[in-house]
Amino acid sequence: STGLEDWQSEVLLLTDSTNEQLKGAGFCHKKVLAAEYQSAGRGRRGRQWVSPLASNLYWSVGWQTQMPVQQLGGLSLVVGLAIIKALQSLDIEGVQLKWPNDIRYQGKKLGGILIELSGDVAGALQVVIGVGLNMQMGSTLAQSIEQEWMNVNDLAPDVSRQQVLAKTIVEFNQALELFEQKGFAAFQELWQEVDECFGQKVSILQQHQELKGIGAGVDDTGALLLQTGQGVIPIYAGEVSLRFR
């Protein structure tokens, strides 16, 4: 059994944002909503997510959980790890994660994760997990992207969007169940293997304050550990931005 018997999926030709569509009244637990095109795709910290037609993968997953909101800090890391596993199952190796939510290869961005709270029902939180993964975006369409980026098809030309999406959902299903049972602690070791920040000089921008240090892994809640002159400081995801120095 794949464990996917109670999942649903829908592919829209166009939408504003799959996260937006799945939030609120459209929320559905264990639903995958993908789109060929997003007119208002969004990234973290209010940024736009460039979403050209039929080029990449844009999808959102609805997930309802009893976990307390304070424990959800590790969720974007868990989702990133599930995507790496899916790519590995298609023989795509060497993909790394830049805490807390960037999927990268040799310093170039392959994709990103945007998690939003949709609401709560009788104490259960409804979470929308959005993922954008560059598959075969043409360079002329993407001149507005500030960061260096690349496509999954640059690494594996024959892998299709359908394959990546299907494998990812299998991994999401497993990872989300384990996360719910054991918390982020069950993923901490796995994170070490793909942690792009480990041992690197990084700077964290938090409420207009810059904090410099060296990446020292994550704790058992998924907080980034920053080795500084004042010792090791945990950094919680929220509205921070991390840069390599």
**Whole-number minimum distance, CB 94 to ligand BTN, in Å?**
19
Binding segment for ligand BTN (CB under 6 A), chosen from 23-31, 52-60, 77-85, 192-200, is: 52-60
Looking at residue 183, its amino acid is G
Among 19, 55, 65, 96, binds ligand BTN (CB under 6 A): 19
Spell out the residues 6+ positions from residue 76 whose beta carbon is closer than 8 angstroms to its own.
Answer: 100, 101, 113, 115, 222, 237
DSSP labels, 120-153: EETTEEEEEEEEEE-SS--TGGGTT--S-B--HH
Count of residues in the chain = 245
Burial grade of 100 (CB within 10 A; 0-12, 13-18, 19 or more): buried
Query: Is 43 near ligand BTN (CB under 6 A)?
Result: yes
Binding segment for ligand BTN (CB under 6 A), chosen from 17-25, 157-165, 181-189, 232-240, is: 17-25
Is 44 an annotated catalytic residue? yes
Query: Is 168 near ligand BTN (CB under 6 A)?
Result: no
**Whole-number minimum distance, CB 1 to ligand BTN, in Å?**
28
Strands 124-133, 201-206: pairing is unpaired
Among 52, 73, 100, 112, binds ligand BTN (CB under 6 A): 112
Instruction: State whether residue 21 is helix, strand or coil.
Output: helix
Binding segment for ligand BTN (CB under 6 A), chosen from 117-125, 127-135, 149-157, 189-197, is: 127-135
Structure-token pair, residue 64: 């309802």
Q: Are 235 and 206 in contact (CB under 8 A)?
A: yes
- The one catalytic residue in 47, 108, 212, 243 is 243
Query: Is 213 near ligand BTN (CB under 6 A)?
Result: no
The residues binding ligand BTN (CB under 6 A) are: 17-19, 38, 41-44, 47, 49, 58-60, 101-102, 112-114, 130-132
Binding-site residue numbers are: 17-19, 38, 42-44, 109
